Amino acid sequence: MDHGCRLCELAMARERTLIAIKPDGVQRGLVAEILGRFERKGFTLVGLKLLTPSRALAEQHYGVHRERPFFGGLVEFITSGPVVAMVWEGEGVIATARVLIGATKPLEAAPGSIRGDLAVDIGRNVVHGSDGPDTARFEIGLWFQPEELSTWTPADQCWRTES
Ligand code: IDP
Ligand code: MG
């Protein structure tokens, strides 16, 4: 809950989100392109690994979609090869990452967004981003052990944010 107090400000500044480059993004050689967009924007990378997700991980990650007709195919797809899982940090990173990623349907995603520039099919939309604070916390805990995350401040942070 944001009360507008100093503690809330600090917590917001440390906001984190889970971003995953899906198997299609890895297979198509788009890792640097996608990762670079978050890096160039000015967010801070605090966790990074490449793994082929287990079925259990995939089913938990997409648990909210369990009843949807595409669930089986989605789990097959996300477990089909390596995924690059990342945690990015920064003020407003959860919502802004969704803007950088673009709409779920790539044909409707704005030009300039990752999906708008790099994808055409909803089932091959190259990247995942948490959709809110609760989801972000859940997904980060699912994909990363606490010790796999680095809390650090980039040396040039004062050239990215005023405070
Ligand atoms: P999001 O990735 O933009 O948050 P969600 O609605 O959470 O979109 O759906 C999760 C993922 O499930 C999508 O990124 C996409 O890969 C897949 N998906 C969603 N809807 C469909 C569909 O109608 N057909 C096939 N795959 C879908
Ligand atoms: Mg989603």
Please report the DSSP string for 54-91 in residue order.
Answer: -HHHHHHHTGGGTTSTTHHHHHHHHTSS-EEEEEEEST
pLDDT at 19: 99
C-beta of 123 in contact with ligand 1 (< 6 A): yes
pLDDT for res 14: 80
Structural tokens at position 11: 């917590």
Whether residue 128 lies in the annotated active site? yes
Which residues are within 8 A (CB) of 64 and not within 5 positions of it... i.e. 6 or more apart? none
Which ligand minimizes its atom distance to the CA of 97?
Answer: 1
pTM of the model as a whole: 0.94
The closest residue, in CA terms, to atom 23 on ligand 1 is 70
Q: Is 105 in the pocket of ligand 1 (CB under 6 A)?
A: no
Choose, from 3, 61, 65, 128, the residue flagged as catalytic. Answer: 128
Ligand nearest the Cα atom of residue 125: 1
Show pLDDT as tens, one digit a residue, over the chain (163 residues): 456 666 556 666 689 999 999 999 999 999 999 999 999 999 999 999 999 999 999 999 999 999 999 999 999 999 999 999 999 999 999 999 999 999 999 999 999 999 999 999 999 999 999 999 999 999 999 999 999 999 999 999 999 999 7
pLDDT value of residue 6: 61
Contact 135, 60 (CB under 8 A): no
Give the angle subtended at the CA of 105 by the CAs of 121 and 35, to the nearest 5°.
80
CA 149 to CA 156: how far, in whole Å?
20
Contact yes or no for 22/126 (Cβ under 8 A): yes
Confirm or reject: Cβ of 152 under 6 Å from ligand 1: no
